[in-house]
Amino acid sequence: MPTAREESWSGNTVSVGHRKSTSRTRLQKSTEAIDSATDKLSKQIDKELTKHIWFHGVMPRSDCEEVLKEAKIMRRLDHPNIVRFYGVAAQEEPVMILLELAVNGCMKIVAQI
């Protein structure tokens, strides 16, 4: 049976299910958490937007403070030319950042054309 824990996504609570198993790697557990969180989040925001949500990176807790400072700034930004920030799961490792997917790729790559 999966056990559930709760993660905070910028003030919203999302239940993330995990099944304990010694044979699974940390990456597999993270992938399951991401899939479950995306499903839960799709119920809280526009379902069309969830197609463009991307979990950006996994980082050690040591970088968490800097990321949380940047997240507070990004949370206030809402413009069509800026990737939308949805939240951070920082209660335990791996720390996950939830961003809108830039469907046309990185601006650095696009600018090299």
How many residues are there in the chain? 113
| pLDDT tens profile 55-95 | 555 666 666 677 778 778 888 888 877 778 877 776 766 66
Q: What are phi and psi of 110, to 5 degrees?
A: -60, -40
pLDDT of 39 > 70? The answer is no
Q: Is residue 40 very low, low, confident or very high in pLDDT (cuts 50, 70, 90)?
A: low
Give the chain's domains with CATH numbers: 3-111 (3.30.200)
pLDDT of 12 > 50? The answer is no
The residue assigned the tokens 């990004």 is: 74
For the segment 12-17, the average pLDDT, to the nearest whole number, is 38
Q: What is the CA radius of gyration of the chain?
A: 15
Q: Token pair of 13, please?
A: 């609570």
- Choice among 22-31, 37-46, 81-90, 99-108 with the minimum mean pLDDT: 22-31
Percentage of the chain lying above the pLDDT 90 cut: 0
